[in-house]
Amino acid sequence: MVLGFTGGPEPYNGASIWMSQGIYHQWNPKQTKPATPGRRRIDKIFVDGAKLTDVPARKKLYDRFQEILGEQQPMIFLVNAKP
């Protein structure tokens, strides 16, 4: 499957992809609660990150999110540079 998700500097903009109940969540769709402990941790990171205004604290949370993604590999990211 090829998807065209975009990103940006604000991690919370991807919450609809990464949170268990997000409308663009692609694996275990339509969950009423997180299917795994890792999913539960990611959901909590996004909920907590949305409440924080302290940039270093938010960065620490989203760094942990990236570590979890690296461990679980729910997607394989490919890059295709435009000619």
Tell whether pTM > 0.85: no
C-alpha span between 36 and 53 (Å, rounded): 28
User: pLDDT per residue over 19-29, tens digit each?
Assistant: 988 888 887 77
Residue 26 phi/psi, 5-degree rounding, is -95, -15
Q: Stretch 54-82: mean pLDDT, rounded? A: 87
